[in-house]
Amino acid sequence: MSDAIKAATLEYATRLGDDSVVLGHRISEWVSYGPFLEEDIAYGNVALDYIGRARMFYTYAAELADDGRTEDDFAYMRSDRDYRNLLLMEMPKGDFAYSQVRQLFADVYYTVMLPELLQSKDETLSAIAAKAIKETKYHLRRSREWVMRLGDGTEESHKRTQKAVDALWGFTHELFDMDETEQMLADAGIGVDVSKLRDTWLKMVSDILTEATLTVPEDDWAVRGGRTGYHTEHLGHMLTEMQIVHRSYPGCQW
């Protein structure tokens, strides 16, 4: 592995870890607030899937960095400007419809992205994808069922779900952006060219929204910046809460 490819792979693994840990934390915020017990437990399980995925990406990033950092350093010792997660993942949990719509958008994204990552020449990234694909099948089944139920439910649930779709749609464009780092890895057969996945993602999401009696928004606005460290104010607040124990007791062994 050349130095350039190694540095790019480190950045790539960190980005994917950031996506997972941020979304995992957002999902965990619903624990004990679910609409009923079974759903409360489901939220905890899905959050743990994403946290586990983040640990694998961060562990690999630490291995590539080879500078003494551990997975904990990547998760807990970086500021919001150092994070490279997609903006969609950091948006606040909102109401139940908002979280389920965000989850649907993310689940469909991983449904189309992970099989491509599975083909990576990087054995570690491929192995992480293999595990995550199994989890994502369950995640998508759950979020699809909820969006269907809420969108085609009561007048109030339909209104809230459509509002969530409209509010989050502009954050989905960033999912399919490519920069120099990701293009280098895609050309090397290591990363995924996500720009080629938008049409498939859009078809899947549009079919679900239409079946749920929801309207697919126009592409008249888009927000970007997560991959370059420009985030909403929500991420800083979230990291303050997520990192407080580790930063208060650095090096503590439990």
In a domain, 160, yes or no: yes
Q: Tokens representing 250?
A: 């650095």
In a domain, 44, yes or no: yes
- Lowest-confidence region among 26-40, 161-175, 180-194: 26-40
Q: How far apart are CA 172 and CA 181, in angstroms?
A: 20
Confidence of residue 39 (pLDDT cuts 50, 70, 90): confident
In a domain, 253, yes or no: no
In a domain, 51, yes or no: yes
Helix (H, G, I), strand (E, B) or coil at 175: helix
**What is the model's pTM?**
0.96
Confidence of residue 37 (pLDDT cuts 50, 70, 90): confident
Q: Are 97 and 163 in contact (CB under 8 A)?
A: yes
pLDDT value of position 60: 98
Q: Alpha helix (H) ranges present in the chain? A: 3-28, 37-65, 71-76, 87-90, 96-118, 123-151, 155-168, 180-187, 198-211, 233-248
pLDDT value of position 241: 95
pLDDT value of position 24: 98
Total domains in the chain come to: 1
Which range marks the domain in which residue 57 is found? 3-248
Closest CA to 207 of 111, 90, 132: 111
* Mean predicted confidence (pLDDT) in 12-26: 98
Residue 135 predicted with pLDDT over 80 = yes
Q: How far apart are CA 45 and CA 59, in angstroms?
A: 21
Residue 253 predicted with pLDDT over 80 = no
In a domain, 195, yes or no: yes
Residue 254 predicted with pLDDT over 80 = no
Confidence of residue 122 (pLDDT cuts 50, 70, 90): very high
pLDDT value of position 252: 79
In a domain, 67, yes or no: yes
In a domain, 161, yes or no: yes
Average pLDDT of the chain is 96
pLDDT value of position 66: 95
Q: How far apart are CA 76 and CA 94, in angstroms?
A: 24
pLDDT value of position 53: 98
Q: What is the pLDDT of residues 178-212, one digit of tens each?
A: 999 999 999 999 999 999 999 999 999 999 999 99
In a domain, 204, yes or no: yes
CB within 8 A of 147, min separation 6: which ones?
Answer: 100, 101, 104, 161, 208, 209, 212, 214
- Report the CATH number that the domain containing residue 134 is assigned in CATH: 1.20.1260.10
Q: Tokens representing 242?
A: 């997520």
